[in-house]
Amino acid sequence: MDNSQSVQQEPEEPKDGNLEVVKSKTIPRPWLKNYFLLLLSGMVGISVTVSVFAYYQLIEIGDVPPTKPEKIKRATPKVQTPLPPDSTNPLPVWMVIAIALCCGTGCLVIFRLLKLPKQV
C-alpha cells in the first residue's frame, strides 16, 4: 500500500542559446554608450521645443478687432433684498469621512512597506 514515491526533479540548466539571450538583455546597446550625449541633448531639445511652442501658443491673442467704447448710461440704484443665508453644506459628511479613511489607509500601507526588512 506504499505507492508514494519521492520524485526529485533535476534543476534545468540553461542551454547555451538561452544564456546568450540573457546576456544580451543585460548589456546596454553599444550605440547608447557611444552616443549618450547625443541622446541626452536630443531629449532636452525636444523638451525645450515643446515648452517654447506651448508658451507661444498660450500667449498668442490673435486678431482682436478694436471695440468702440460704449456710452455709460446713468443707472438708478436698485434696492436689493438680502438673500436668506445658505445653510446647506455642499460637501456631505460621508464624503469627508471616506476621504479621511482613504488617506489614513494609504498612509498605513506606505508605513508598513517602509518597515519591511530589506529582501536580498
Asked whether residue 70 is assigned to any structural domain, the reply reads no
Q: What is the pLDDT of residues 86-105, one digit of tens each?
A: 667 678 888 999 999 999 99
How much is the pLDDT for 50? 94
Q: Note whether residue 45 is domain-resident.
A: yes
- pLDDT at res. 47: 94
Q: Which domain holds residue 36?
A: 15-60
State the pLDDT at residue 23. Answer: 52
- Tell me if 113 is assigned to some domain: no
Provide the CB-side half-sphere exposure for 57 (13 A, CA).
6
Contact partners, residue 112, CB within 8 Å, separation at least 6: none
Let me know if residue 74 belongs to a domain.
no
Is 38 contained in some domain? yes
Count up the domains in the chain and report the number.
1
Residues with pLDDT less than 70, the chain? 1-29, 75, 86-87, 89, 118-120
pTM exceeding 0.75: no
